[in-house]
Chains A and B, each alone.
Chain A
Amino acid sequence: EVQLVQSGAEVKKPGESLKISCKGSGYSFANYWIGWVRQMPGKGLEWMGIIYPGDSDIRYSPSFQGQVTISADKSISTAYLQWSSLKASDTAIYYCARRSPEGAPDYWGQGTPVTVSS
């Protein structure tokens, strides 16, 4: 069974750093693109970027380029999303999602709520 399990909720202060994770199981992690999606409170879905763990090819959406860093460790089937300096506007739920060969995100993590507040 394909599963993506994300790390737990985070509460941080502005300016702090953060790295959240997404562990895949039940499939060949290295051979599927895996991406991150932001959902701000009461808002829609936004693709942030996507990584191919097999060779660490990364594509960022223009809005998120330079704002976050996406990485993956295929040896432990885990993808990461990190911030070096959080802002209040980073408050959101972050989902990881596996992209199928047809290009559709077919399996999703449960979401990681991130709250940034002073």
Chain B
Amino acid sequence: DIQMTQSPSLLSTSVGDRVTITCRASQSISRYLNWYQQKPGKAPKLLIYVASSLQSGVPSRFSGSGSGTDFTLTISSLQPEDFATYYCQQSFSTPGTFGQGTKLEIK
């Protein structure tokens, strides 16, 4: 089973900040890495797929990079609606595994 480790688990940040979340896989997953945003009481929403492709309708302030075992999600200028929990997920193996999540909270 491929393990996914996100850091940090909790990030206190402010509107307008540049935010970076990292995700590390326990083995190489090529570029099969996806990022999700989840708000309380809602289903997760796909933001980025295959490491760096922006899902349709997702603002361009979100970007992803990486390959192999190390990946990042960057939010260039945090907006009020971005305070949520973010998950990475590998789709190299089926059905795939999620990271433990990173919660963005208002500083």
Contact = CB atoms under 8 A, between A and B. Distances in A.
Report whether chain A binds chain B: yes
Interface string A92-115: 000101011011111011110000
Contacts, number: 69
Interface string B69-107: 000000000000000000101011011111111000000
A104 B31 CA distance: 12
A44 B101 contact: yes
Contacts of A53: none
Contacts of B96: 47, 103
Q: Which size bracket describes the interface of A in this complex?
A: 20 to 34
B68 interface: no
Contacts of A48: 95
A19 interface: no
Majority-rule SS of A interface residues: strand
Contacts of B16: none
B43 A61 contact: no
B49 A106 contact: yes
Contacts of B1: 61-62
Nearest to B1: A62
Q: Which size bracket describes the interface of B in this complex?
A: 20 to 34
A13 interface: no
Given A44-B100, A102-B53, A59 B95 contact: yes
B62 interface: no
Interface of A: 33, 35, 37, 44-50, 59-62, 95, 97, 99-100, 102-106, 108-111
B34 A103 contact: yes
Contacts of B38: 45
Contact of B91 (A49, A95, A104, A111): A104
Interface string B39-57: 0000111100110010100
B34 A61 contact: no
Given A47-B97, A105-B34, 5 more contacts: A44-B87, A100-B49, A102-B91, A104-B46, A105-B44
A108 B43 contact: yes
Nearest to A95: B43
